Amino acid sequence: MSSTPIAHASGSWRSRFGFVMASTGFAVGLGNIWRFPYVTGENGGAAFVLMYLAFAFAIGVPILMAEIMVGRRGRSSPPTALAKVAQASARSPRWGWVGYLTLTTAFLIMIAYSVVAGWVLYYFTQAVSFSVSESAVFASDDAFQLLLGDVTTLLIWTGVALTATGAIIFTGVEQGIERAVRVLMPTLFLLLIGLVIFNAFNGGMSAALAYLFLPDFTKLTWGAPLAALGQAFFSIGVAMAGMMMFGAYLPQDVAVGKSAVQIVIADTLVALIAGLVVFPMVFANGLDPSAGTGLIFQTLPVAFSQMPYGSVVAVLFFLLLSVAAVTSMVGLTEPLVGFLMERLQCSRRRATALVIGVLFAVSLISVLSYNHWQHVGFAGRSLAAWLDYIPNQVMLPLGGLLLALFAGWILNRQIAEDELAMASSKYVGLWRSLLRWLAVPAVAIILLTGL
């Protein structure tokens, strides 16, 4: 294992605000604005939202605190940080393999996520040229299917998304990531608020509020708890290495618990506000809220074509999605870059170029799963469905379970008290109890039930 802490080579966050913005940018991505609305639609609306909120705060916050804390204590990439902290707790350094699991999860998510981010950037350029907002109902379906069938276009825009991500990471933590999120995240919040205000005057808001906040538990399915947990983990960024890597750059005087709560609150607000951006447009135009992954790319273009100022709204909406996509890709890619820097003892620039190149090459699998390989699959799932299911609904809960086990049962309590620096040791005890007696059994049961 490398003895050189990655934080020495990469620098650190200049302020808690920079760290919270970067972590929120990682958490606030397509998981909130693209995935949350359609998963909510598929799982019955408000009853699913309540489950999602419960998981986000009762399970997501404690595990998020554990990730940030382990990253800061280890000052290394996730595998090395976990091994170091395990050894400091007089336990086996083999716990470092949990770090490899989270890195693998991030890598697999990026294979599919970078392609979807490419869709977003493509649609943004189409919105700027007015072709999205002018689409008719059938034209929007046809346009999306044509895009999925065009391997060259998909690869080009996947490459653009990965290049934008690499450009931010290339120049380091302070000059690249922190500087970018200080501009991008306020822009994202302003765009969200502006679109909600627009919806308030253009119909569908009352139906959207009822759909999101008036639960009907009869609409829940057996798969809803696993979907809610997977969405909470995916949305917050738990168990995909990014938060642990960001924690490695965190100054010692920043409160871990307070930062984790702020990140989850911001992330949850964005998910709910995104619902108030998407669903009023859907209901006002008589569209289907459970349209699945095509909700953003097939259903909403129809709404844009029917609403006043639809061309302007389309541009703002896909700009919002573009910002969210890139900030999340930064959080997913940075731990892969940090790991290579540590293991190969190479420069950030070389590690970034290598990671982006490999991701681009492997993303071809995801691209082909939508066209030439769309009939490839097994056990009743297509290749594209497996690329979503394995990392999001198997590896994320498994990684979260192992992290909760590590922090709740393996981690030395004194290390936790030193790193969390809470006002009272009782709060550390509460945190450990949530991990031990809520997070571990709940995640285990939901994971096994889902499998």
- Residue 196: its pLDDT value, please? 93
Both tokens of residue 188? 């994202």
Among 397, 9, 422, 23, residue whose Cα is nearest residue 239: 397
What band does 314 get if pLDDT is binned at 50, 70 and 90?
A: confident
Mean pLDDT of 19-48: 84
What is 6-450's CATH number, 2.60.120, 3.30.70, 1.10.4160, 2.30.130? 1.10.4160
In angstroms, rounded to a whole number, what is the distance separating the alpha carbons of residues 63 and 342?
25
What band does 310 get if pLDDT is binned at 50, 70 and 90?
A: confident
- Report the b/e string of 432-450 with b at 16+ CB within 10 A: bebbbeebbebbeebbeeb
pLDDT at position 431 over 90: yes
- Residue 293: its pLDDT value, please? 67
Check residue 203 and report its DSSP letter: S
Q: Enumerate the H helices of 307-412 as residue ranges.
A: 310-344, 348-369, 383-389, 396-405
Share of the chain above pLDDT 70, in %: 94
What band does 15 get if pLDDT is binned at 50, 70 and 90?
A: confident
Predicted confidence (pLDDT) per residue in 236-248, tens digit: 888 999 999 999 9
Predicted confidence (pLDDT) per residue in 323-350, tens digit: 989 999 999 999 999 999 999 999 999 9
Most confident of 136-140, 293-297, 316-320, 364-368: 364-368
In angstroms, rounded to a whole number, what is the distance separating the alpha carbons of residues 242 and 283?
36
Share of the chain above pLDDT 90, in %: 57
Both tokens of residue 308? 């006043």
- Residue 148: its pLDDT value, please? 93
In angstroms, rounded to a whole number, what is the distance separating the alpha carbons of residues 299 and 31?
18
- Residue 162: its pLDDT value, please? 98
Most confident of 213-227, 294-308, 310-324: 310-324
Residue 47's alpha-carbon distances to 203, 217, 327, in angstroms, are 23, 6, 29
Locate tokens 């709560």: which residue?
A: 261
Predicted confidence (pLDDT) per residue in 351-379, tens digit: 999 999 999 999 999 999 999 999 998 88
Predicted confidence (pLDDT) per residue in 101-118, tens digit: 999 999 999 999 999 999
- Residue 5: its pLDDT value, please? 57
pLDDT at position 174 over 90: no
Most confident of 12-16, 18-22, 171-175, 407-411: 407-411
- Residue 297: its pLDDT value, please? 82
Q: What is the pTM of this model?
A: 0.90
Mean pLDDT of 249-273: 91
- Residue 70: its pLDDT value, please? 97
What band does 3 get if pLDDT is binned at 50, 70 and 90?
A: very low
In angstroms, rounded to a whole number, what is the distance separating the alpha carbons of residues 238 and 322?
22
Residues with Cβ within 8 Å of 186's Cβ and at least 6 positions away in sequence, in order, are none
Mean pLDDT of 290-307: 77
pLDDT at position 216 over 90: no
Mean pLDDT, the chain, whole residue set: 89
Predicted confidence (pLDDT) per residue in 66-84, tens digit: 999 999 999 999 999 999 9
Mean pLDDT of 380-405: 91
- Residue 87: its pLDDT value, please? 97
Residues with Cβ within 8 Å of 348's Cβ and at least 6 positions away in sequence, in order, are 9, 10, 169, 170, 172, 337, 341
Q: Domain extents for the chain?
A: 6-450
